[in-house]
C-alpha cells in the first residue's frame, strides 16, 4: 500500500489464503512497531529451534540494502535462530548509519532468543534512502517475542506487505523416504519486480532435516524457475531476499546428503512448485494488474536465450499496455522478440495467442482470427507462445498488464 493507503485487492488474488499449519521448531508473530505505517502490523519475527539450517538468495542490485549485506555476511555459517522483518522502510542506500541500524536490530533479537547475532537474519522493505529507525524496532521486539506462536503464519504474511493488495502464502505436504514433511512459504511483492531476483521478500520453512549446503543448492535451482521467471516492471529491487529454513524437527527420515538423492525427489518437486506458486502470486499482484500473463518461448538457442526473449516481451510497455487494452497486437510481440538481442529466425517465427495460431513463417497466418485473439485478451489469464525457429531452448515467464493503476500507486508512494 503506497504511503500506507489501501488499494483495491487485485482481481487476480486467490479467493482465500490457505490454512497454514505450524512447522515444528518455528514460532512466528507480528506486531505494530510504527516504523512507517499507522494502525497496521509492520514487524514480523520468527524464532527457530537450535539446529535449524538456512539458505538464501538475494538481489543482484549493486545498491543492495543493509539487511541484504548483513544476511550475506552470515549465510555461510548455515544456521539460524531468528528472523526479523519490517515493512515501511527498506534501510537501503543508507550508508554506515543503515548498517549500524541493522546490526542493532540483530543484536537486540539475539539477546531475546539467546543466541549470537550472526544467527539472526533480517529483511526490510519499503522506502529507499531512509535509515531504519532501529529504536522503534528494538522497542517492539520484546513484546513481539512474548507473543510468538507456531500458527501465526497468516499474521506474518500480512506484516511484510507494502503495496501488496493481498497476503501471499502457500503450503505443501510431501515426503522424504516415505516420511511426511511439510513446507510453508510466505512472500511479499507487487512493484519494482524483475528477475535477479524480483522485488520481493519470501520466507520458506520446513520441518525436514536438510543440510545447509543441500538446502542452498535446492533454493538456487528452484529460484531460477520461480522468482527469477517473473517480472512486473523490469526494475530490480535493492532488498530482494529469499530465505529457506529447515528445522529438522519433524519425523525422522533417511538423511539427505545431496540434491540428487532419489528419496529427495518428491520434496524437490514440492519445494519448487511452492516457490512457483508464490512467484505467480507476486505477478498477479503487480501494481495495478488486471491480467495475469504467461509467456512461453521455444525454439531458442538455449534456455537462457529463451528467457531473455520472453522477458523482452514481458517487460515491453507496448506489449503490456496492449494487453491492458485487450488489443491483440501481435506486431508488438514481434518487436519485442527482435529487440531482445538473441538469435531468432525472422522467417521461422511462430506466434500463438490463447493457443491459436496468429503468425508463422515470418508473416501473419492467413486464417488468423483477430476477433478470437481480441476476445482472449479481454480475459484475466493471457497466454502468449512464441517459437523463434533456432534451436531447442525453452523458457516460461510470468507477468501482468500495465494499467493506469501502476501510475496511481507509484506516483503517491511516499505521500
Please indicate if the annotation marks 375 as binding a ligand.
Answer: no
The Cα 358–Cα 179 span in angstroms is 48
In the sheet where 168-176 sits, what is the strand order?
53-58, 241-246, 201-206, 179-188, 168-176
Q: What is the pLDDT, as a whole number, of residue 403?
A: 87
Note whether 321 and 399 are within 8 A (CB): no
In this predicted structure, the answer to whether residue 198 has a pLDDT above a threshold of 60 is no
Whole-number Cα distances in Å, 217 to 211, 214, 268, 272, 317: 10, 5, 11, 12, 35
Per-residue confidence band for 262, with pLDDT thresholds at 50, 70 and 90: very high
The average pLDDT across 36-58 equals 95
What average pLDDT does the structure give for the chain?
A: 92
Percentage of the chain beyond pLDDT 70 is: 93
Read off the pLDDT of each residue in 67-91 and give the average, rounded to a whole number.
Answer: 96
pLDDT tens column, 371-381? 999 999 999 99
Q: Evaluate whether 52 touches 79 at the Cβ level (below 8 Å).
A: yes
Question: Is 188 labelled a binding residue?
Answer: yes
Classify each residue of 64-102 as buried b or exposed e, where b means 16 or more C-beta atoms within 10 Å of its C-beta.
bbbbbebbeebbeeebbbbbbbbbbbbbbebeeebbebb
Q: Is 415 annotated to bind ligand?
A: yes
Lowest-pLDDT range of 6-20, 192-206, 361-375: 192-206
**In the predicted model, what is the mean pLDDT of residues 278-300?**
93
Q: Which residues are annotated as catalytic? A: 199
Closest CA to 8 of 404, 414, 372: 404
Average pLDDT over residues 20-28: 98
Contact by Cβ (8 Å): 67, 122:
yes
**Residue 54 in grid coordinates:** 538456512
Residue 6 has pLDDT above 70, yes or no: no
CA 336, CA 169: separation in Å to the nearest integer? 33
Is the model more confident about 203 or about 196? Answer: 203
Output the pLDDT for position 234.
Answer: 57
pLDDT-based confidence at 1, cuts 50/70/90?
Answer: very low
Average pLDDT over residues 311-318: 94
Write out the DSSP string of 321-367: HHHHTT---HHHHHHHHHHT-S---GGG-EEEETTEEEEETTEE-TT
pLDDT of amino acid 409:
65
What is the predicted pLDDT for the residue at 2?
Answer: 42
Confidence class of residue 231 from pLDDT cuts 50, 70 and 90?
A: confident
Query: Is 287 annotated among the ligand-binding residues?
Result: yes
How crowded is residue 265: how many other Cβ atoms within 10 Å of its Cβ?
12
Say whether 175 sits in a helix, a strand or coil. strand
DSSP H or E segment with residue 43? strand 43-48
Q: How far apart are CA 265 and CA 176, in angstroms?
A: 8
Domains, the chain, in order of start with CATH, read 2-284 (3.60.70.12), 292-411 (3.10.20.340)
**Residue 236 preceded by cis peptide, ω within 30:** no
For residue 268, CA distances in Å to 134, 277, 299, 303, 392 come to 38, 14, 27, 21, 25
**Which phi and psi angles does 385 have, rounded to 5°?**
-125, 135
pTM, rounded to two decimals:
0.92
CA 94 – CA 178 distance, rounded (Å): 49
More confident residue, 85 or 196: 85
Residue 3 has pLDDT above 50, yes or no: no
Amino acid at each position: 500500500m503506497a504511503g500506507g493507503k489501501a488499494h483495491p485487492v487485485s482481481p487476480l488474488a486467490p479467493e482465500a489464503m490457505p490454512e497454514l499449519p505450524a512447522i515444528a521448531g518455528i514460532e512466528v508473530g507480528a506486531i505494530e512497531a510504527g516504523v512507517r505505517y499507522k494502525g497496521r502490523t509492520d514487524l514480523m519475527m520468527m524464532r527457530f529451534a537450535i539446529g535449524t539450517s538456512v539458505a538464501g538468495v538475494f538481489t543482484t542490485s549493486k545498491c543492495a540494502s543493509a539487511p541484504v549485506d548483513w544476511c550475506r555476511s552470515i549465510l555461510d555459517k548455515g544456521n539460524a535462530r531468528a528472523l526479523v522483518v519490517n515493512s515501511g522502510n527498506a534501510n537501503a542506500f543508507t550508508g554506515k548509519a543503515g548498517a549500524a541500524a541493522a546490526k542493532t536490530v540483530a543484536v537486540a533479537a539475539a539477546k531475546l532468543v539467546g543466541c549470537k547475532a550472526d544467527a539472526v537474519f533480517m529483511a526490510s522493505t519499503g522506502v529507499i534512502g531512509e535509515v531504519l529507525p532501529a529504536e522503534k524496532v528494538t522497542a517492539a521486539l520484546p513484546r513481539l517475542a512474548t507473543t510468538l506462536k507456531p500458527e501465526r503464519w497468516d499474521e506474518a504474511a500480512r506484516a511484510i506487505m507494502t503495496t501488496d493488495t493481498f497476503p501471499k502464502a502457500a503450503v505443501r505436504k510431501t515426503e522424504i523416504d516415505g516420511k511426511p514433511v511439510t513446507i510453508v512459504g510466505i512472500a511479499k511483492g507487487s512493484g519494482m519486480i524483475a528477475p535477479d531476483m524480483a522485488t520481493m521478500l519470501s520466507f520458506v520453512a520446513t520441518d525436514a532435516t536438510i543440510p545447509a549446503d543441500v538446502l542452498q543448492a535446492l533454493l538456487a535451482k528452484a529460484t531460477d524457475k520461480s522468482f527469477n521467471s517473473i517480472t512486473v516492471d523490469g526494475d530490480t529491487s535493492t532488498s530482494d531476499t529469499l530465505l529457506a529454513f529447515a528445522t529438522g524437527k519433524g519425523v525422522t527420515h533417511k538423511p539427505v546428503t545431496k540434491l540428487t538423492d532419489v528419496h529427495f525427489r518428491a520434496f524437490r518437486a514440492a519445494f519448487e512448485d511452492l516457490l512457483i506458486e508464490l512467484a505467480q502470486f507476486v505477478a498477479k499482484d503487480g501494481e495495478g494488474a488486471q491480467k495475469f500473463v504467461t509467456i512461453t518461448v521455444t525454439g531458442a538457442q538455449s534456455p537462457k536465450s529463451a528467457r531473455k526473449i520472453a522477458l523482452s516481451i514481458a517487460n515491453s510497455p507496448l506489449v503490456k499496455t496492449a494487453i491492458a487494452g485487450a488489443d491483440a497486437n501481435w506486431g508488438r510481440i514481434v518487436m519485442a522478440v527482435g529487440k531482445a538481442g538473441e538469435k531468432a529466425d525472422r522467417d521461422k517465427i511462430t506466434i500463438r495467442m490463447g493457443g491459436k495460431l496468429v503468425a508463422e513463417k515470418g508473416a501473419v497466418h492467413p486464417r488468423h482470427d483477430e476477433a478470437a485473439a481480441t476476445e482472449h485478451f479481454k480475459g484475466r489469464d493471457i497466454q502468449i507462445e512464441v517459437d523463434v525457429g533456432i534451436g531447442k531452448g525453452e523458457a516460461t515467464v510470468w507477468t501482468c498488464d500495465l494499467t493506469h493503476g501502476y501510475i496511481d500507486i507509484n506516483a503517491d508512494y511516499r505521500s
